Amino acid sequence: MTDLKTISLVLPVRNEARLMREQLQRLQCYRAKGHEVIVIDGGSVDATVEQTKGLVDRCEVSAAGRSNQMNHGASEAKGDILLFLHADTELPINADECICNALTAQDSRWGWFDIKLSKPQLAFRVVAAMMNLRARLTSVSTGDQALFVERELFQEVGGFPPLALMEDIAISKVLRRRGSPARPVGLVTTSSRRWEENGLISTILLMWRLRFLYFIGVKPQKLREIYYPSHD
């Protein structure tokens, strides 16, 4: 292990058996360097938990909901830095070095990565560019962007608010009051499946609608019902 700070990679998952093995195999290089990988399952009914065997430092089950799962994982973490990672988001090479270097060079205690979508077509590149621009202008991250934060700061702010949706936006707004976010080099690659399955324009309009409703005070539980109309 070098003089890098240790990182706890926390993955909140539910019914992601198809993705888990490949994702966790990619993360073994970080375990080999002394970091830890923690999976918190939100009640999967597929083989998600079985797919983690031998590839994680800890796998536990918590109440469903990413906020609950990520807070649970953070409570078990031992690293200096918490990195919250979705099952369908791939980190850049040497993400640990990118994070530590950015936090030090930019005198920050939290941040996230710019993003690219897995589909290379122009439309998807434009969507990613707009997401990155919005995040930089507002200092608000989405869960797809691999939010990271010093564990002590995470504890100071009380972790993720107990929201059914928009927990990433809520914690970003709290953290930005504590200091500017770091912007590491490298891009995370997140799956384009949401945009492919639901339609590019429809997904963009839905996300804008949800953000607007959240801004005017609609309860996150109601937003979750809009976002997941046929789930749970």
Token digits of residue 210: 């949800």
Whether 195 shows a pLDDT value over 90: the answer reads no
Nearest CA among 116, 115, 110, 83 for reference residue 12 = 83
pLDDT higher at 156 or 164 = 156
Helix (H) or strand (E) holding 31: helix 28-32
pLDDT band at 26 (very low <50, low <70, confident <90, very high): very high
State the Cα–Cα distance between residues 232 and 228, nearest whole angstrom: 8
What is the distance of C-alpha 11 from the center of its chain? 8
In Å, how far are 144, 169, 201 from 74, measured between CA atoms? 18, 18, 35
- For the chain, give the mean pLDDT: 89
pLDDT at 2 over 60: no
Confidence band for 19, pLDDT divided at 50, 70 and 90: very high
Q: Per-residue pLDDT tens for 35-48?
A: 999 999 999 999 99
Helices (H), 58-163: 66-76, 95-105, 122-138, 151-156
Structure tokens at 116: 């690219």
Q: Is pLDDT at 229 greater than 70 in this prediction?
A: no
Segment 111-138 mean pLDDT: 91
Up-side HSE of residue 33: CA atoms within 13 Å toward CB? 18
**CA–CA–CA angle 68, 130, 117 (5° rounding):** 65
Residue burial 51-62, b: 16+ Cβ < 10 Å; e: rest: bbeebbebbeeb
The pLDDT, as a whole number, for residue 204 is 72
Determine the average pLDDT of the residues in 11-32: 96
Assigned CATH topology for domain 7-191 = Spore Coat Polysaccharide Biosynthesis Protein SpsA; Chain A (3.90.550)
Q: Is the pLDDT of residue 62 over 60?
A: yes
Determine contact, residues 12/40, Cβ cutoff 8 Å.
yes
Contact call for residues 51 and 79 (beta carbons, < 8 A):
no
pLDDT at 232: 39
Banded model confidence at residue 228, pLDDT cuts 50, 70, 90 = low
pLDDT at 165: 80
Residue 66 carries which side chain, given as an amino acid letter?
R
User: Residue 23 and residue 25: Cα distance in Å, rounded?
Assistant: 5
Q: Domain limits of the chain? A: 7-191
Q: What is the mean pLDDT of residues 176-185?
A: 96
Distance CA 184, CA 64 (A): 30
- 217 φ, ψ (degrees, to nearest 5): 105, 10
CA neighbor of 115 nearest in space, from 82, 88, 138, 77: 88
The predicted structure's pLDDT at residue 201: 72
**pLDDT-derived band of residue 127, with 50, 70 and 90 as boundaries?**
confident
When pLDDT is averaged across residues 133-145 and rounded to a whole number, the result is 92
